Structure 1
Amino acid sequence: MQLLCASEQLAEGHSRAFNLAGQALFAVRRHGQVFVYRNRCPHKGIPLNWADDTFLDASASLIHCAQHGALFLIESGECVAGPCEGEQLQALACHEDSQGIWLSA
């Protein structure tokens, strides 16, 4: 298990990038739950964000690939619009406790 960050460092409706042992990840908090994904678009295998910690669309309701405009559901990582529709982001198991947000793998 690896600690990603303290819980208060990932606010509701926000995303945050992480780099663990050379592995690019990001986390999103939605409705109090944390979701962690590899920072890799299934369309071209490139990072989703164009700026640090910027992974969500303007409404903060979908994950947005800044490169090609693909949109992904926060809860499942499924692409619902764009060039990789029907594909999914690679989810990583995580949990949250009083110490913070942990990557389970």
Structure 2
Amino acid sequence: MSEVSAKERVLCRVDEIPEGESRGFPPAPGGFTGLFAIRRGAAVHVYVNSCPHIGLPLDPAPDRFLDAKKQHIVCSAHGARFRIEDGECFSGPCYGESLEAVPVRIDAEGRVIVPADAGV
């Protein structure tokens, strides 16, 4: 098993996020804002679960971050729409702003690993 440093946090295994779906994660210990991940093939995009408009969580229900076609991230509060690949808002009250992207790595065991302080 590969090492995970004290400055990192394991969110889950890649195969625990269904292909083309999203999954939310609680805040890190001592943090206030959770994270969410979206899987596209071998790629996993991770963002802080906070709309840049007024800071509300994006999901209306657990693990529901995507539109009906699963093509964009949607804020449940005001309908802002974001690109999955880079988190940029292309429609809604925060047009031109972006979600806070979180650096992510996938280790040899298929674990999704982020900095321990992400979302704090």
The TM-score bracket by the shorter chain reads over 0.9
Name the stretch that deviates more: 95-104 or 6-15.
95-104
Opposite residue 88 of structure 2, the aligned amino acid is E
CA distance in 2, matches of 1:82, 1:92: 22
Query: Shift of residue 101 of structure 1?
Result: 0.7
Structure with the higher strand share, 1 or 2: 1
Please give the alpha-carbon distance, in whole angstroms, between the structure 1 residues aligned to 2:108 and 2:81: 32
Amino acid aligned to 1:13: G
TM-score by length of 2: 0.83
Look up the match of 2:40. 30
Deviates more, 1:23-32 or 1:40-49: 23-32
The residue aligned with 2:4 is: none
Query: What pairs up with 1:36-51 in 2 under 5 angstroms?
Result: 36-51=46-61
Normalised by the length of structure 1, the TM-score is: 0.94
Structure 2 spans left out of the alignment, 5+ residues? 1-7
Give the alignment of 1:1-105 within 5 angstroms.
1-19=8-26, 20-21=28-29, 22=31, 23-99=33-109, 100-104=111-115
Which runs of 5 or more residues in structure 1 are unaligned?
none
Q: Deviations over 1:47-74 (max 9, x none)?
A: 0000000000011110010110000000
Cα RMSD over matched residues?
Answer: 1.2
1:29-60 Cα deviation digits (max 9, x unpaired): 12431011000000111000000000000111
Give the 3-state SS of the residue equivalent to 1:69 in structure 2.
coil
The aligned length equals 105
Percent identity over paired residues: 47
